[in-house]
């Protein structure tokens, strides 16, 4: 059986048939994309320029924001262009890149969220040893390890997926190229590499989940022993947003990758995929910055400096 994959494009699923609704979908996802870019780039800028934010917590947050910019840029622009042009085709190299980058960024983000939960555990449960345990070298090693694991998973999944044959159907039952959807349309009866990759991915995800659960179990146990309600409130305002992000990301990601892919996906399947590939990059800046006094203070300091500099510059001119 001849593999025609390289010679043809893939056709991505259109979940909205009406052209008017597709234009509305285009503007909706364009708005989400711009909000995500603005929020994440703002966090990166603030953490970079403000010396008060040069701590392990904000170092991880800065890397998470950069990762979110990368993740949403893989899928969202293609969806916007497809909705606007009413053409849902994607080239074979483009499909390969989507699988490689989506898996790499998702795996990296899971690992980075685990590192952030460990950072909160050390800060709350072992505050006297925090500076020693979470020194800069350790933080850099954690981030580098996260990217390394993510890259390995991305390479493994993409190699295993595109080693398969795609003989007849080229219609991907998803709005971007992902592993379950491509397995659905593949005519290869055996895919050992993918099966091994999925096993490693499940083990990896479970390890991260267990680590996060244990970290927060110790955190909440320590917090409940705190005598001052103000201290509890500050800790909960820091940890609860992170827990919301982790829960949303892991639950929707696991659902999208482990559930069977239907022949004709419904709106619910579309929303599940959106919630792990598009929404977290948009939610993270809002959740982490909405009640974060340090981020808010850093933003006002930057705006004041810009306004102050502009005032004196205008006065001199």
DSSP structure string for the chain = ----GGGS-EEE--S---HHHHHHHHHHHHHHHHHHHHHHHHHHHHHHH-GGG-SHHHHHHHHHHHHHHHHHHHHHHHHHHHHHHT--EE-HHHHHHHHHHHHHHHHHHHHHHHHHHHHHHHHHH-GGGHHHHT-HHHHHHHHHHHHHHHHHHHHHHHHHHHTS---S--EESSSS--HHHHHHH---S--HHHHHHHHHHHHHHHHHHHHHHHHHHHHHHHHHT-S-HHHHHHHHHHHHHHHHHHHHHHHHHHHHHHSPPPSS--HHHHHHHHHHHTHHHHHHHHHHHHT-HHHHHHHHHHHHHHHHHHHHHHHH-
Query: Please, which residues bridge with residue 12 across strands?
Result: 172
Of the given ranges (31-35, 115-119, 157-161, 227-231), which has the lowest mean pLDDT? 227-231
In this prediction, residues 300-309 reach a mean pLDDT of 70
CA 186: distance to chain centroid? 27
pLDDT grade, residue 2 (50/70/90)?
very low
The reported pLDDT for the residue numbered 173 is 81
Which pLDDT belongs to residue 213?
87
Q: Is 177:100 a contact under the CB 8 Å cutoff?
A: no
Question: Mean of the pLDDT values across residues 23-46?
Answer: 89
Q: Quick count: other Cβ atoms within 10 Å of Cβ 123?
A: 19
CA angle 73, 242, 158 (to 5 degrees): 40
d(CA 244, CA 230): 21
Mean pLDDT score of the chain: 81
Mean pLDDT of 114-130: 91
Mean pLDDT of 215-228: 82
Residue whose pair of structure tokens reads 């800065």 in the numeric block: 62
186 vs 110, higher pLDDT: 110
Q: Which residues pair with 172 in a beta bridge?
A: 12
Mean pLDDT throughout 31-54?
A: 89
Q: How many contiguous H segments (helices) and E segments (strands) does the chain have?
A: 11, 3
- Which residue, chain included where needed, has tokens 């895919």? 191
Q: What is the pLDDT of residue 89?
A: 85
Using DSSP's 3-state secondary structure scheme, residue 261 falls into coil
Give the Cα separation of 182 and 116 in Å (integer): 32
pLDDT at 310: 56
List all residues 6 or more positions away from 79 whose beta carbon is below 8 Å from its beta carbon. 25, 29, 175, 176
- For 154-206, write each residue's pLDDT tens digit: 999 888 887 777 776 778 888 888 888 888 888 877 777 787 888 888 888 88
- pTM to 2 decimals? 0.85
Domains of the chain: residue spans and CATH: 5-316 (1.20.1070.10)
Give whichever of 105-109, 206-210, 233-237 has the largest mean pLDDT. Answer: 105-109
> Comparing 39 with 86, which gets the higher pLDDT?
39
Alpha-carbon distance of 269 to 261, in angstroms, equals 9
Q: Which residue has the higher pLDDT, 305 or 138?
A: 138
Residues 224-251 have a mean pLDDT of 73
Specify the pLDDT at position 111: 93
Euclidean distance between CA atoms 147 and 207, whole angstroms: 17
Q: Are the C-beta atoms of residues 262 and 180 closer than 8 Å to each other?
A: no
């Amino acid at each position: 059986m001849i593999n025609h994959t390289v010679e043809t494009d893939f056709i991505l699923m259109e979940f909205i048939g009406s052209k008017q609704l597709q234009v509305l979908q285009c503007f909706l996802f364009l708005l989400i994309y711009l909000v995500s870019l603005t929020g994440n780039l703002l966090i990166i800028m603030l953490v970079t320029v403000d010396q008060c934010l040069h701590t392990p917590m904000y170092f991880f947050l800065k890397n998470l924001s950069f990762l979110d910019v990368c993740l949403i840029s893989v899928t969202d622009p293609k969806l916007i262009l497809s909705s606007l042009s009413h053409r849902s085709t994607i080239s074979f190299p483009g499909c390969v890149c989507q699988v490689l980058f989506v898996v790499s960024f998702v795996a990296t983000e899971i690992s980075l969220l685990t590192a952030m939960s460990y950072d909160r555990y050390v800060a709350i449960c072992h505050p006297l040893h925090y500076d020693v345990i979470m020194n800069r070298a350790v933080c850099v090693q954690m981030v580098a390890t996260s990217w390394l694991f993510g890259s390995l998973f991305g390479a493994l999944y993409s190699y295993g997926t595109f080693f398969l044959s795609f003989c007849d159907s080229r219609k991907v039952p998803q709005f971007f190229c992902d592993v379950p959807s491509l397995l659905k349309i593949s005519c290869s009866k055996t895919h050992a590499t993918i099966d091994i990759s999925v096993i490693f991915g499940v083990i990896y995800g479970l390890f991260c989940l267990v680590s996060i659960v244990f970290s927060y179990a110790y955190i909440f146990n320590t917090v409940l022993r705190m005598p001052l309600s103000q201290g509890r409130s500050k800790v909960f305002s820091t940890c609860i947003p992170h827990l919301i992000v982790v829960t949303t990301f892991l639950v929707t990601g696991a659902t999208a990758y482990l559930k069977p892919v239907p022949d004709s996906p419904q709106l619910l399947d579309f929303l599940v995929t959106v919630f792990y590939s598009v929404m977290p990059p948009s939610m993270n800046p809002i959740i982490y910055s909405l009640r974060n006094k340090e981020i808010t203070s850093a933003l006002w300091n930057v705006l004041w400096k810009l306004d102050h500099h502009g005032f004196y510059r205008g006065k001199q001119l």
